[in-house]
Structure 1
Amino acid sequence: MTKSTGGIALYNKLLLTELRRIGVRSHTLCLSENAEAYAADLAKRGLGAEPVEMARYSIDPRGDARVLRRVVSASREHAADVIVCHGSKSGFIGRAAGRLTGRPVVYRQASMPFQRRVQGAKAPLYWALDFAARGFGGHIVTLTEYARQQTLTAKLMSADRISVIRTGVDVARFKPATDRAAARAALGLDPDRPVVGWMGRMEPQKAPLDYVQSLRDVVARHPHVQFVMAGEGRMEREVAQALSAAGLSERVKMLGWQSDPVRALQTFDVYVLSSHWEGLPITLLEAMASGCCCISTDVDGCSDALEDGISGRLVSAGDTGALGQALEGVLQDPDLREQYAEAGRHRAVTLFDKETMVAKWVDLLSSLTAGTATLPVVEQGKTASEGGQ
């Protein structure tokens, strides 16, 4: 079960697509907004899926009980060997379902909402819910060692019930463009001018206004550079107004949502992530694999992805001045920009390859379902067989 938007949905789709190739069946309960479209997308890939209505941002006792009943019934209908939940609310409901059905449950953290800097005044409530869910049992997957340590410190699970599985991306698909100029032209950009890009959901978490603020002084000093923003969300109008107020509307091109992120990332010389919190952001890993020079805020899994001054730049979240200075530094030094891009690509290939992620998931699921299900053996770093159902 998973929310149907953003990195959570992308992660679930990638994982289940790869597991299907080695013969693992799945059925996803697609929750909250975009559920019908997401379920249809999974179905096109040959994956079982159904939309289920859920209030994403609030506690809804009646609605949440309805979701719980559906998780219990679906796990029985589809003879599930294990229940996998992505995201905090899914994690609570899924672990409750596991207790009711006797099935093993894996809760994959997407971020850490029990931390005050992530959810502010709501953080104690998230902590209380996660602490209560500990009583249901289950296993937690964190995306980084940092997240594992934070989860242990918060006493949300015992050490033997937490595994670290780094997010993986398709490094064969996300790779540097053989002809970046042609890639720019295909996206309607000037093929001869470098591109600085921001791409993501225009939501408070992603802090798109911080990116706009960081450009106020940079843009004028680099008239040969193209600046773009790709994405959609609740803050689109606010972003457009901020660009207008800063006099940047003619210099920052809005590309809209990109259904094919490969095409967009292959046009970027520099990729900027301005988030205030993350788990381990998929788009950052995809940008690294695509050969972009990456500048990111130093939050959660971002520091696991990038090494500051080696494979990119890390700055404090909300510090738009530092973000602008980091951007200024790589725009003034093309050799440094290329150095970061090459190191980032190498790091993505060696640490964040999807094949390694899938192998670790297979190991975990095999250990949790020992005696009830037999999963294929997958060597880490090896391409999965194409022969599954």
Structure 2
Amino acid sequence: MACCITELEAGGAERMFVELVCRLDRDQWQPTVISLGAESEPFVDRLRREGIEVRCLAVTRRWDVSAVARLAGELKQLAPDVLQTWLYHANVAGCLAARWVGIEPIVTGVRVADQRGRWRRWVERICTSRASRHVCVSRDVAEFSRSHGSLDAEKLEVIPNGVDVDRFTGVEPMDLGDRGIATGIPVVAWIGRLEPQKDPLAAIEAFGAVGRSDPNCRLVMAGEGSLRGRIEARIEHLGLGERVVLLGRVSEIPSLFARSCGLLLTSRWEGMPNVVLEAMAAGRPVVTRPVHGIGDLVEDGHTGMVVVDDQPAILGEALLALLADRDAAEAMGRRGRRKVIEKFSLETMVSRYEAVWQREISLSVEREGDAGKG
């Protein structure tokens, strides 16, 4: 089989792709990964260490038409029994390339309820129309895709993300002493790309209110992106220099959660945020906006706090409530951990994808047989 992804950077959707491919039953599936991104991207080496072939096309422009031709060449050479695409640009390019060289079935991976314009959804609908199945990461994403008319409703299927709970069990807390945070000082974690979708500036505004009421608390932000300069300026303007710490890109997320008392999620749009699953696996409550996918994960007042009001100050009030009642916060965290153990295992996610591929391959063989009879 072939698996095509937009890039192999260290993001949540990319990590889930890598977990899926690495956990496949190798007696049944021999995956080759094709990335539209560069050889230098972080997850390339992880896949190769697992014995998986990775081909990187190093596409430098998102709408490079020649990339479709190059991808088609790779697919023609591989002649896979099934193509799984992952993320928007890979879905579009992969479907076009596969159609060009007659590869089917095609299963797309729809990871987010994309808010970035009708033209993107129009392109997606036209280019992926020959896909056999569109696997959506949450019920919210499936409903968004159906209601906005971007994808054929009859082809939609929901397979939620999974999480490796063992990775978040028995972990030593991250030592933040070199960042001026002594043991015992409460820490709220914010984890994600410093990009508009994740709205990290809202986290700074929300924490401004927290800092005034609880000056001992710290906000620790893990991630990099184009908004870092604006974030640093806002931190300085609000006088939060000693209370907000920018860690940059962090690989040891479990140890950061072990050191924190909760997660703050400020995203404007999502599909099913992996970082929320990870926080729950670590037994940490979540304060979040009601973005897509949250309804499947966070029960307000039970496993976290869902703040419907869009104002950062209201997010800050929710954080203060969480910090004020540690017993209640820890109980939320325990309930969240139980939920992911029961409903969101990686093994279940992988087996469901394998079942989809096997079903679509069988249907494709049947169609070919019927065509031959005709």
Would you say same fold, with TM above 0.5? yes
Deviation by residue 1:85-114 (Cα, 9 ceiling, x = unmatched): 11122111111223232311111111122x
Determine the structure 2 residue equivalent to 1:333.
325
Contact 2:188–2:260 under 8 Å retained in 1:
yes
TM-score, length of structure 2 as denominator length: 0.89
Query: Quick one: which amino acid aligns to residue 23 of structure 2?
Result: E
Q: Residue 99 of structure 1 aligns to which amino acid in structure 2? A: R
Secondary structure in 2 aligned to 1:137? coil
Q: For residues 34 and 305 of structure 1, do their structure 2 counterparts lie closer, same or farther at Cα, with a shift above 3 Å needed?
A: farther
- Residue aligning to 1:109: 110
CA contact (8 A) 1:142 1:162 kept: yes
- Aligned-pair distance for 1:174? 2.2
Equivalent in the alignment of 2:70: 70
1:130 is the counterpart of 2:119: no
* 1:22 Cα offset (Å): 5.6
**1:176 touches 1:289 (CA, 8 Å); kept in 2?**
no
Match of 2:236 in 1: 244
**What per-residue deviation string (whole Å, max 9, x for no partner) do you get for residues 251-289 of structure 1?**
112222111212212211111111000111111111110
Measured in 1, the distance between the counterparts of 2:238 and 2:206 equals: 11
Share of identical aligned residues, percent? 26
Aligned to 1:30: 35
What is the CA distance between 1:33 and its match in structure 2? 6.1
Q: Tell me the amino acid that sits aligned with residue 110 of structure 2.
A: Q
- Secondary structure of the structure 2 residue equivalent to 1:103: coil
Unpaired segments ≥5 residues, structure 2? 366-374
TM-superposed deviation, 1:136:
2.3
Q: Which residue number in structure 1 is paired with residue 371 of structure 2?
A: none
Q: Would the alpha carbon gap of residues 37 and 185 (structure 1) be closer, same or farther in structure 2, given more than 3 Å must change?
A: closer
1:123-272 equivalences in 2 (<5 Å): 123-175=117-169, 177=171, 183-185=173-175, 188=178, 189-272=181-264
CA distance in 2, matches of 1:256, 1:350: 33
Q: Secondary structure, in 3 states, of the residue corresponding to 2:173?
A: helix
CA separation in 2, counterparts of 1:128 and 1:325? 40
Partners of 1:230 and 1:34 in 2: how far apart? 24
Residue aligning to 2:21: 16
Q: Distance in 2 between matches of 1:317 and 1:44?
A: 45
Structure 1 residues 75 and 35, CA, compared in 2 at 3 Å: closer, same or farther? farther
CA distance in 2, matches of 1:71, 1:195: 45
- Against the structure 1 CA distance between its residues 184 and 190, is the aligned structure 2 distance closer, same or farther, given a 3 Å change threshold? farther
Contact 1:138-1:161 at 8 Å conserved across structures: yes
TM-score (norm 1): 0.85
User: Do 1:175 and 1:291's aligned partners in 2 also have CA atoms closer than 8 Å?
Assistant: no
Alignment correspondent of 1:384 = none
- SS, match of residue 106 in structure 1: strand
Contact preservation (8 Å) 1:202, 1:233: yes
Compared CA separation, residues 348 and 128, structure 1 to 2 (3 A): same
1:148 and 1:162 in contact (8 A); partners too: yes
- Is 126-135 or 25-34 further displaced after alignment? 25-34
8 Å CA contact 1:99–1:136 kept in 2: the answer is: yes
- What is the alpha-carbon distance in structure 1 between the residues aligned to residue 309 and residue 54 of structure 2? 36
Deviates more, 1:88-97 or 1:208-217: 88-97
Native 8 Å contact 1:68 1:97 kept in 2 = yes
C-alpha distance in 2 between matches for 1:256 and 1:233: 9
- Indicate the RMSD between aligned Cα atoms, in angstroms: 2.2
CA contact (8 A) 2:18 2:47 kept: yes
Superposed CA deviations along residues 194-235 of structure 1, whole A, max 9, x for unmatched, are: 211111111111111000000112113223323211111111
C-alpha distance in 2, partners of 1:173/1:54?
33
Give SS of 1:215's match. Answer: helix
Q: 1:137 to 1:192 in 2, by over 3 A?
A: closer
| AA at the equivalent of 1:156 | S
Amino acid at match of 2:77: E
Q: Does the 8 Å CA contact 1:54/1:67 hold for their aligned counterparts? A: yes
Q: What is the CA distance between 1:145 and its match in structure 2?
A: 1.5
Aligned residues: 357
Q: Note if 1:82 corresponds to 2:82.
A: yes
Instruction: Describe the shift of the 1:345–1:36 C-alpha distance in structure 2 as closer, same or farther (beyond 3 A).
Output: closer
Distance 1:85 1:198 in 2: 29
Amino acid at match of 1:347: K
Aligned 8 A contact 1:31 1:51 in 2: yes
Residue 275 of structure 2 aligns with which residue?
A: 283
Letter in 2 for 1:366: Q
Whether the 8 Å CA contact 2:111–2:141 is kept in 1: the answer is no
Question: Do the aligned residues in 2 keep the contact of 1:210 with 1:318 (CA within 8 Å)?
Answer: no
* C-alpha contact 1:276 1:317 (8 A) present in aligned 2: no
Displacement over 4 Å in runs of 4+? 20-23, 33-37, 186-189
